[in-house]
Amino acid sequence: SGKDAGLIRARRMTLRDAADDVVDIGQVGEVAHIDPGIVTLLDQADFIPVIAPIGVGEDGCAYNINADLVAGKVAEVIGAEKLMLLTNTAGVLDRDGRLLTGLSPEQVARLIDDGTIHGGMLPKIACALSAVRNGVRASHIVDGRVEHAVLLELFTDAGVGTLIRG
């Protein structure tokens, strides 16, 4: 997990209610720091790390962190070429339900502003944009329900999701 060797340092996440009072949401956190050295060490030893999105806080407690956000931050700190996020939809869809295969950050902003991108896609889009803005060349939002989706996206021109480039 991200707790191992302090790979993911977390900070407790809090929410505020309508009265602006802090709401305790339990052991939920956000990324405070990722140690790229651990991932690099594993890569150099020919290991492919599978990282559970659990971080450790300064208090020593474990915090559950959104997996997409962890993946994006890891991609940023290791200088990844691509970030691939799997979802249970075809990718980013237009208002008519058609797949948008490629978007720029500016196009994404317009689609958020007009309500086309909403709900559960917003955190994925935010993660993809952050990665692209912080050095990752491309972010892919891919339909994980499609058989061999990752291989198709990586090794063919078929494209099975939405590509976001900076």
Q: How far apart are CA 88 and CA 141, in angstroms?
A: 10
pLDDT tens for 42-65 read: 999 999 999 999 999 999 999 999
Q: List, in order, residues 6 or more apart from 76 with CB less than 8 Å away.
A: 34, 130, 131, 134, 135, 136
What pLDDT score does 117 carry? 96
Mean pLDDT calculated for residue range 79-93: 93
What pLDDT score does 109 carry? 95
What pLDDT score does 30 carry? 94
Whether residue 122 is predicted with pLDDT greater than 80 in this model: the reply is yes
Evaluate whether 125 touches 113 at the Cβ level (below 8 Å): no
What pLDDT score does 91 carry? 93
pLDDT tens for 94-115 read: 999 999 999 999 999 999 999 9
Q: How far apart are CA 19 and CA 82, in angstroms?
A: 41
**Structural domain spans, the chain:** 1-65, 82-166
pLDDT tens for 147-159 read: 999 998 888 877 7
Q: How far is CA 9 from the centre of its chain?
A: 16
Q: pTM for the full model? A: 0.87
Instruction: Give me the sign of the Cα torsion angle 112, 114, 108, 158.
Output: positive
Phi first, then psi, for residue 54 (nearest 5°) are: -115, 125
Burial of 64 (0-12, 13-18, 19+ CB in 10 A): middle
Strand-strand pairing, 62-64 and 82-87 = unpaired
Give a three-class secondary structure readout of 106-138.
HHHHHHHHCCCCCCCHHHHHHHHHHHHHCCCCE
Residue 4 pLDDT level (bands cut at 50, 70, 90): confident
